[in-house]
Amino acid sequence: MKIARIVSVGAIALFVLGSAALAQQARTGTVIGINRLNNTIAIRQGQDGTVGANTGGAAEEFKVGSGVSLDSLHAGDRVSFSASGSGEAKTITKIDRQ
């Protein structure tokens, strides 16, 4: 019984740490629009996969976390960013212009 508890706690810890690491993974994309009144930004993420596949995905809208400044960004800028959250509640935690 004690071994089963240790194994299950270890599995849960790996799952939680793994999902947190994936949520903070750095991504790249192009700024499509910035709404400074609502503190949101729309980014079309870069395409992974076949060379020459130029069909861009849909732009995704993110909330901007506290401490993240949008002052130097404009539509059309290429950026690398980190976001946390899932579903429609994604928040930019770090963004850098490339």
pTM to 2 decimals? 0.66
Determine the straight-line distance between the first and last CA of the chain, rounded to whole angstroms.
53
Burial 39-75 (b: 16+ CB within 10 A, else e): ebbbbeeeeeeeeeeeeeeebbebbbbeebebeebee
Domains of the chain: 26-97 (2.40.50.320)
Structure confidence by residue, pLDDT tens digits, 58-98: 889 999 988 888 888 999 999 999 998 877 789 999 999 98
Q: Please compute, for residue 4, the number of CA atoms within 13 A of its CA located in the half-sphere on the CB side.
A: 1
Q: Write down the pLDDT at residue 55.
A: 56
